[in-house]
Amino acid sequence: MSQFHESILNRLSKSPVIDEGDLDAAARLILEAAMEGLGINRSGIWLYDSDVQDHIRCHLLMDSDMAAPQESLVLAREDFPSYFKALDEDRVIAANDAVNAPETKEFAKGYLDLLGISSMLDTPIRHNGVTVGIICNEHRGKPRQWRPDEIIFSGVLSDLFGRVLNARQRLDYEQQLKSINQNLEEKVAERTRFLDEALAQQKQLQQQLVESEKLAALGGMVSGVAHEVNTPLGVALTATTHLNDQLKKLQQDFSAGAITKTQLQSFIESATEAVDLSHSNLNKAATLISNFKRTSADQNHFEKERIHVSDYVRQVVSTLTPLTKQIPAEVIVIGGDFIVNTYPGAIAQVITNFVSNACIHAFVDGYQDQAKIQIDIQQSKSGDVTVSVKDNGIGMDEATCQKIFNPFFTTRRGEGGTGLGLSIIHTLLTQNLNGSIDVESELGKGTQFKIFFRQ
């Protein structure tokens, strides 16, 4: 590094502003040093908005040729993917020809051309070992070749701003300690009350979310069951009407004394067929209504009960037939040939949400053909229960998998999705069933949820 640069850095490092924790004052001092040491008239400090690092915001911009913009400048990863990719590598971006350099050419139109910027030098700012932003140095005029000593100089300035961030963090901690030490007993009591209220509100909100999802699920089940029951009832009504017509005709022939053995035999055969048809369809409707009454009652009252797991899950699945028929999707239940003492209502809600979630999200964009949901229920020697719910739908990427249990997160917001289904499952498993949930998924290869709970 040149003696000129060393002199600037020595002067800067001795300034008390660096360690006072005033970000704006320190940032201004560092940018002035950058402009002096690199012979440029435009330099800025940019910091990531969050740990996700999808947006970077200008903390301070200095330009000796023009006034800095009043509005907050923000760059988004989706708008400048190549630039952000270069930033992700935590390395220096020395764009001698910024218009054509792969890292910065995305800024050519609408920024570099308007401001006359030809070269850019970005060095990463690190804090606690993590890159939190950059110092962006911009040169106007003919493209320049950034020298190694200039790159090192800018890198040291970035490290100095990391030192500023440490000072700011230390100052924040000191202020927090002072605040805590004042009237400590009163603050502890206040914080305790606050935590108690927050905990009560959280429990109330969770209960409201559970109730909301219950009502939504039950509402869909009521609508679907009503539609599904109409079919067997309609068949039974048609058969009964036909039988009634045949009976009237038989009465007329009997009154006229014109009934024959053949006519009587034909009536008996027709009546038997109509009665059998009515009986089978009415039984189908009665079974559906019985299963619906059982699962809907269970979902409204969470009380422990001994259940035969596979039979109970099949009852729940049968009430979801109206939903799965729309895809259509085949639901297969295997295993579960044992009895456990658990909360049937929670089990019903979990299975309902899993199947509903698959029908809404998994079987789209050409994945409806041969749609299948397999529910595999197993019990360990210790009595713990593992349920695997697997579909052959579209699947999810890793980013989506990390968010699916967050309340109100949904990929179908504009199509009626509430984002509560999987969040409710997570709450029921962790709080009501003392269990856990994992998900494995890959785009194009379906999704598998594994839940685990104890009796």
Tally of domains in the chain: 2
Q: Whole-angstrom Cα distance, residue 97 to residue 105?
A: 9
User: The CATH number of the domain where 448 resides is what?
Assistant: 3.30.565.10
At residue 441, the pLDDT reads 94
The answer to whether residues 254 and 345 belong to one domain is: yes
Asked if residue 418 belongs to a domain, the reply is yes
141, 166, 181: which is the final residue of a domain?
A: 181
**R_g of the chain computed on alpha carbons:** 35
The answer to whether residues 157 and 299 belong to one domain is: no
The answer to whether residues 169 and 240 belong to one domain is: no
Asked if residue 306 belongs to a domain, the reply is yes
The answer to whether residues 35 and 134 belong to one domain is: yes
Place of tokens 């409201």: 208
At residue 178, the pLDDT reads 79
Mean pLDDT per 10-residue segment, the chain (455 residues): 88 89 91 94 92 90 81 88 91 94 93 93 91 94 93 92 90 82 75 82 68 55 57 71 76 77 77 73 64 49 83 89 87 92 87 88 86 94 91 92 82 64 81 88 93 85
At residue 297, the pLDDT reads 44
Asked if residue 251 belongs to a domain, the reply is yes
The answer to whether residues 276 and 337 belong to one domain is: yes
Asked if residue 204 belongs to a domain, the reply is no
Asked if residue 86 belongs to a domain, the reply is yes
At residue 295, the pLDDT reads 45
Instruction: Provide the residue range defining the domain that includes 404.
Output: 213-453
The answer to whether residues 10 and 130 belong to one domain is: yes
The answer to whether residues 170 and 222 belong to one domain is: no
The answer to whether residues 229 and 166 belong to one domain is: no
Q: Whole-angstrom Cα distance, residue 382 to residue 430?
A: 19
Asked if residue 186 belongs to a domain, the reply is no
User: The CATH number of the domain where 94 resides is what?
Assistant: 3.30.450.40
At residue 302, the pLDDT reads 66
At residue 77, the pLDDT reads 92
Asked if residue 266 belongs to a domain, the reply is yes
The answer to whether residues 255 and 369 belong to one domain is: yes
Asked if residue 102 belongs to a domain, the reply is yes
User: Is the distance from CB of 373 to CB of 358 less than 8 angstroms?
Assistant: yes
Residue type for 181, please?
N
At residue 366, the pLDDT reads 81
The answer to whether residues 127 and 225 belong to one domain is: no
181, 204, 231: which is the final residue of a domain?
A: 181
Tokens of 56: 């970077």
User: 179 exposed, middle or buried (CB, 10 Å; 0-12, 13-18, 19+)?
Assistant: exposed
The answer to whether residues 299 and 370 belong to one domain is: yes
The answer to whether residues 217 and 177 belong to one domain is: no
Place of tokens 């023009």: 66
Q: Whole-angstrom Cα distance, residue 45 to residue 134?
A: 6
Q: Whole-angstrom Cα distance, residue 162 to residue 125?
A: 6
